[in-house]
Amino acid sequence: MGIKVKVNFDKRKLESAIKDQARESLRNRSYDAKCPFCHTTFSAHPGPNVCPHCRKTVDLNLNIKL
Ligand SMILES: [Zn+2]
């Protein structure tokens, strides 16, 4: 005989917590970005980065769709 336990999750709360965490971890990682000026590939973080080759500012925009 099994016992059934009903668990009521606040689905919206749960979802937004998961999304927040996903966004946070995406923001904290680095990405292989290609400099549009000199085409050097370097590791960039979301936001403004300075290209290690030409020293120009390259904006890395994250398009997060969750
Ligand atoms: Zn560059």
* pLDDT digit string (tens) for the chain, length 66 residues: 889 988 888 999 999 999 999 999 998 999 999 999 999 999 999 999 999 999 999 999 888 777
What sign does the CA torsion over 41, 42, 43, 45 have? negative
Strand partners, 44: 31
Look at the block and give the residue holding tokens 């370097």: 42
CA of 61 to the centre of ligand 1 (A): 16
Task: List the helix and strand counts (H, then E) for the chain.
Answer: 1, 4
pLDDT given for residue 39 in this prediction: 97
- Ligand 1 centre distance from Cα of residue 39 (Å): 6
CA of 57 to the centre of ligand 1 (A): 8
> Cα of 54 to ligand 1 centre, how many Å?
4
User: CA-to-CA distance for 48 and 19, rounded, in angstroms?
Assistant: 23
The ranges assigned to domains in the chain are 30-66
